[in-house]
Structure 1
Amino acid sequence: MKIEQIYTGCLAQGAYYIVSENEAAIIDPLREVKPYLDRLEKDNVTLKYIFETHFHADFVSGHLDLSKKTNAPIVYGPTAQPEFEAIIAEDNQIFEIGNIKIKVLHTPGHTMESTTYLLIDENGVETAIFTGDTLFLGDVGRPDLAQKAGSVTQEDLAGILYESLHNKIMPLDDSITVYPAHGAGSACGKNMQKETVDILGNQKRTNYALNQPDKESFIREVLDGLTAPPKYFGMNVAMNKGGYDSLDTVMDRGLNPISVEDFESFAEETGALILDTRGPADFHKGFIPNAINIGLKGDFAPWVGNLIVDVKHPLLLVADEGTEEEVITRLSRVGFDNVLGYLKGGFEAWKNSTKEIDEIKRISPAEFAEAFNENSKVIDVRKIGEYSAEHIDNAYSRPLDTISDWVSTIDDSEHFFLHCAGGYRSMIAASILNSHGIRNFTEVEGGFNGIKKTEKFPVSDFVCQSKTL
């Protein structure tokens, strides 16, 4: 028997490849299925089942493409109602793969169809659980995504999750290995550990959610501090439940080189958003007017989902040459399939033409230290928790993920400095502000991490800056 965790850091997501004898199973596959097909061919095994722990919200699963390419059936837990052919398993149903067995444990709460899969090895020993978003390392799945107005509340779901954990998972042996669907960095939980594999006994001892004295305490603690889920989550659920275009189709459509001469008119005709995926250091020196910068070398896909939101919005890409396929793949992981093409020759081709170029003013932390005075206005786009821990005295907290709510409050007549932790998020914010006609600002390279090293700024603990900017 072989169990391989296939972890994708930019999504903090774990898929699982399991082999016994000449058969295999895959749990929660990512959108691009070639890595799984390559493994199957290398191991000379047949994919017998594709198990889905639930209808995912934070990424688009590869279950449909993988099933079409292998003829393996898709398996969901009880109550799931996909709009395509699938096996809807019963609670405690057994599936055999080679000499091992997978037992279905219906564990609703994160969503009502959420299911944990218990692996029983060749000797009949319960060995591992694949918990999806029911149980994470250090946390449990957020119970606020499957609410239904007037019928099921987040408190109801949290109570259901408590029962699932205490009736189905806590009674299992401490030695069982826990394989969750996500790790630290995922928006599906709030307190995840950086590790991606653990034993159940350690989680029973250390996971705050598993150590609440009663259901009421569990509900209160699990719901406490939850921020609003990213707005694209519901669209990803709909795609996972209802179906989507094959990645091959998405790739054929997106890998469409568009010349400099045609790019601008194409954008105007289609209403496409120009997404520039170069790094901040390159973007600020020059970019196509109104382009939005979300760098590929960062938490690219989640930020696209958070800020663009509408997965159907047409996109045109400006990318470093040779990265176009990777960009389209990573966009597809969060459901952004409507890429219409990319700028042929990249930004260099645009720069070498007579087309208009825009810039973002960026300075170093040392230059910021020289320019800063008691009357300077500073906008900090880090998360609330980062700001709460430490920030420049009197800086305004305006998190990037809520920029659509606060961009209209900016007074462009008064200059301000803009920073995040390291420069990635502040350049995203800068590009969005610029696209709204807000230009009277200076972005700080290296962000708060660089600013602190100058040791010239008074810092303070959290003070909410609520007045209008």
Structure 2
Amino acid sequence: MTAPDIAVIETSGLGDRSYLVAADGVAVVIDPQRDIDRVLDLAGERRARITQVLETHIHNDYVSGGLELSRRTGAEYVVPAGDELGYPRRAVRDGDVIEAGPMRLQVMHTPGHTHHHVSYVLRDAAGSVIGVFTGGSMLHGTTGRTDLLGAEHTAELSRAQFRSVRRLAAELPGDTEIYPTHGFGSFCSATPASGNSSTIADERQSNPALTQDEQSYVDELIAGLSDYPSHYAHMGVINEAGPSPVDLSLPEPVDPVELRRRIDAGEWVVDLRNRIAFAAGHLRGSLGFELSDSFVTYLGWLHSWGSPLTLIGDGLDQIADARRELVRIGIDELSGAAVGDIRMLAAGDRLRSYRVADFTALAEILDSRDPTVLDVRQRGEFRDGHLPHAVNIPLHELSRRTEEVPAGEIWVHCATGYRSSIAASLIDQPDREVVLVDDDFEQAEKLGLVTSAG
């Protein structure tokens, strides 16, 4: 018998991980994303048959691929007991054991991220603990957020989260490897996680639920909770009802005349190209969402759920990648896509453009004139330090607050340039001279521009 092999399946755009655990030709999958072809390919490479698909909880940040994966492979679908679901599954409770070839996975009820959340302790054939799959409970240096089910549950779930992490630390050996689903950039993490690996012993030294008393932990967690993407409101509902099979086919092509009609009608036409290329020339009224690790989070957050969405890309590969990202958060219906030279897609219409600069350039002009500086970071980031007289409108609020942005010269920045690139496209109007600050905020600190904090 071989030791279990644990393969990590990264979904960096959502800050999540899924896992495939294989031994002796048998495999178990934990918290799979909706695009299950990645999981099937991985199982095929290991020549392993998937016998069980496990969920640690009903997810709020992505559409699960667990139901479809279980149907496609004939695997047993294992979900924590307690939630009313629209499909058959094995409902497991604390102490239950899932057997998969030489592997055993013990269920531990670890509420906090959700009421019915569980973790799975992986043991080999000899009974030795190999690792624990903690979902949104114990993360690397932090814990899962506790406010996704509503403010009325947050205090109760925060205390439950504290006790769950303490239980994991008390009952598992110090060398137990921790395999969380969230915490790699996910907004499901209460605070930013640290590192790519950790053990129970590591967490005893660094995790706030293990280094603070209960009240201090709860107070600090709740005080630090920031806004989270609006599309989260739909994910749990879809996962409870049962997601439909994934469709990764390309959307229908759209010609330049139809693109212009859609933009003029107020529909979202999203340009996936690099933010520098977008700034240099784009269709008037289109929106710039560079296809990157942050793309799906912010598009899902700002886009009105269910409204028409058309994509523009350099090529079909870029459209296909965006399609894959979007189905992970349940955006299945795309109105179409256009690819190719942006000048050809403009069909004779003059392209819009705006300047791209850095904080050094901003420092130079602040000595001679007083432009509007728009900071689109979240409020907590702004409180920690900002430019004097900067206007703070978090990106996810900008669409409904654009009237607060004055006419004239507008320098827009965030922490790295990505959010500000989206914001620049949202506020770009003939009466505004938009300048995109494509730079790290650390550079503003080095230049001595950040003089306000608290």
Alpha-carbon shift at residue 261 of structure 1 (Å) = 3.3
TM-score with structure 2 setting the length: 0.91
Distance apart, 1:97 and its partner CA: 0.9
* Identical-pair percentage: 27
Q: State how far apart, in whole Å, the 1-side matches of 2:141 and 2:16 are.
A: 15
The code of the aligned residue for 1:218 comes to Y
1:212 aligns with 2:203: no
Give, in angstroms, the shift of residue 281 of structure 1. 0.5
Residue 37 of structure 1 pairs with residue 40 of structure 2: yes
Aligned-residue RMSD, C-alpha = 2.4
What residue in structure 2 maps to residue 90 of structure 1? 93
How many Å apart are 1:231 and its aligned residue? 1.4
What is the match of residue 11 of structure 1? 14
Distance in 2 of aligned mates of 1:259 and 1:376: 39
One-letter amino acid of the structure 1 residue matched with residue 186 of structure 2: S
| Structure 1 letter corresponding to 2:426 | I
Q: 1:424 aligns with which of 386, 398, 418?
A: 418
Contact 1:209 1:221 in 2 (8 A): no
Where does residue 121 of structure 1 map in the other structure? 124
Q: Is the 8 A contact 1:78 1:106 kept in 2?
A: no
Q: What is the CA distance between 1:445 and its match in structure 2?
A: 3.6
Which residue does the alignment assign to 1:466?
none
Question: Displacement of 1:458 after TM fit?
Answer: 4.0
How do 1:2-401 residues align onto structure 2 when only pairs under 5 Å count?
2-147=5-150, 152-213=152-213, 215-248=214-247, 251-252=248-249, 254-265=250-261, 272-310=267-305, 312-321=306-315, 322-345=317-340, 347-351=342-346, 353-365=347-359, 367-372=361-366, 373=368, 375-401=370-396
Deviation track 1:63-114 (CA, whole Å, cap 9, x = no partner) reads 1331232121221112132212211112211111111101111111211121
Aligned partner of 1:279: which letter?
Answer: N
Q: How many residues align?
A: 449
Runs of 4+, deviation exceeding 6 Å? none
Contact kept, 8 Å, 1:31 with 1:63, in 2: the verdict is yes
Q: Which residue of 2 aligns with 1:459?
A: 450
Cα gap change, 1:298 to 1:118, in 2 (>3 Å): closer
How far off its partner does 1:266 sit? 5.4
**Is the Cα–Cα contact under 8 Å of residues 278 and 288 in structure 2 kept in the other structure?**
yes
Structure 2 portions without partners, runs of 5+: none
Letter in 1 for 2:210: L
CA distance change for structure 1 residues 266 and 365 in 2, over 3 Å: closer, same or farther? closer
Question: What is the one-letter code of the residue matched to 1:335?
Answer: G
Call closer, same or farther: CA 1:231–1:130 in 2, change over 3 Å. Answer: same
Cα–Cα, structure 1 residues 451 and 404, in superposed 2: closer, same or farther, change >3 Å?
Answer: same
Question: CA contact under 8 A between 2:169 and 2:204: conserved in structure 1?
Answer: no
Matches of 1:86 and 1:241, distance apart in 2: 12
Judging changes above 3 Å, is the alpha-carbon distance between structure 1 residues 331 and 44 closer, same or farther for their aligned structure 2 residues? same
CA distance in 2, matches of 1:301, 1:189: 17
Instruction: Tell whether the 8 Å contact from 1:136 to 1:192 is kept in structure 2 after alignment.
Output: no
Shift of 1:37: 0.9
Q: Please state how far the C-alpha of 1:55 moved relative to its aligned partner.
A: 1.2
CA distance in 2, matches of 1:418, 1:63: 41
> So what's the TM-score if we normalise by structure 1?
0.88
Q: In structure 1, how many angstroms separate the alpha carbons of the residues matched to 2:56 and 2:108? A: 10
1:166–1:366 Cα change, 3 Å: closer
Q: CA deviation at 1:276?
A: 1.0
SS of equivalent to 1:39: helix
Deviation sequence 1:317-345 (CA, Å, 0-9, x none)? 01121311001001112222221210143
Contact 1:78 1:91 in 2 (8 A): no
SS at match of 1:415: strand
Is 1:26–1:49's contact at 8 Å kept on the other side of the alignment? Answer: yes
2:5, 2:22 within 8 Å by CA — same for their partners in 1?
yes
**Structure 1 residues 267 and 157 mapped into 2: Cα distance closer, same or farther (>3 Å)?**
same
**Cα distance in 2 for residues equivalent to 1:344 and 1:452:** 39
| CA deviations over 1:246-265 (Å, ceiling 9, x no partner) | 222xx33x432222233333
Counterpart of 1:467 in structure 2 is none
